[in-house]
Amino acid sequence: MPSASPETRADDALESVIRFDGVGMRYGRGPEVLQDISFDLPRGSFQFLTGPSGAGKTSLLKLIYLAQRPSRGLIWHFGRDSSKLHRSDLPDIRRRIGMVFQDFRTLDHLSVFENVALPLRVAGRKRKEYADDVAELIHWVGLGDKMDAHPQTLSGGEQQRVAIARAVVGQPELLVADEPTGNVDPAMARRLLRLFTELNRLGTTILIATHDITLVRALDVPIMSLADGRLSTGRRKASA
């Protein structure tokens, strides 16, 4: 079967939040850490990304967040060919993506409240418009008594919850989370999963990279698996 034309692939990409087509990625002159990656994140979908350490999950997420460029292949973000994006386009694309990093990336000079509210403040919202919603979300992730604390005084699990709250507070079009439950107990992991599923119900596309098999088994959603830089897809039935 002949491959689709560039015009056809671009039309298909409009139906997806993210689309990869034959993507490869390497750092410097090293070997490819991602090879021939092709997949779609349809609008409103919920998917897991799994794979052993070193499989390339974080590298793939960096491509989605435009923190890295592919060595080859095409990526569309919200229907736009990322290879044609100007540097000035990147902030607008990133504002549409809520990103939970493994290393949290909280700002030490800001309080928990200020860290979580940052995307709204950057978007030009006034504090009186969002203060109640931010406070409610912080309480929901179990940090109501840490509202005025600074990240350096928090545990790793608490910082992770700050990072998650910051990523979801603006109800982004796409939420990408790299091991979002890696530092929390099982009860909090289930609570955070409910937060993600509710956000998905409201229309946000969700991609969660995780080693947490319990988390993956909790939902009957598509699963992408990386091994040695190559991607396969499947589905796991939710546990009874």
Backbone angles phi, psi at 85, to 5 degrees: -75, 135
Task: Sheet with 230-235: list strands edge to edge.
Answer: 97-100, 174-178, 205-209, 46-50, 222-227, 230-235
Listed by start position, the domains of the chain span: 111-170
Instruction: Tell me the residue type at 33.
Output: V
Residue 240 has pLDDT above 60, yes or no: no
Mean pLDDT of 35-42: 96
CA distances from 6 to 10, 20, 208 (A): 6, 13, 29
Summary mean pLDDT of the chain: 90
- For the segment 99-158, what is each residue's pLDDT rounded down to a tens digit? 999 899 999 999 999 999 999 999 899 999 999 999 999 999 999 999 999 999 999 999
Maximum Cα–Cα distance across the chain:
60
Contact 163, 105 (CB under 8 A): yes
Following DSSP, what letter does each residue of 145-167 receive, concatenated? Answer: GGTT--GGGS-HHHHHHHHHHHH
pLDDT band, residue 182 (cuts 50/70/90): confident
**pTM of this prediction?**
0.87
Residue 213 has pLDDT above 60, yes or no: yes
216 sits in which H/E element: helix 213-217
pLDDT band, residue 237 (cuts 50/70/90): very low
Mean pLDDT of 57-79: 95
Give the model's pLDDT for residue 130. 96
For the range 115-118, what are the long-range contacts, defined as Cβ-Cβ under 8 Å and sequence gap of 24 or more?
Answer: 115/151, 115/162, 115/166, 116/162, 116/165, 116/166, 116/169, 117/169, 118/166
Give the model's pLDDT for residue 206. 97
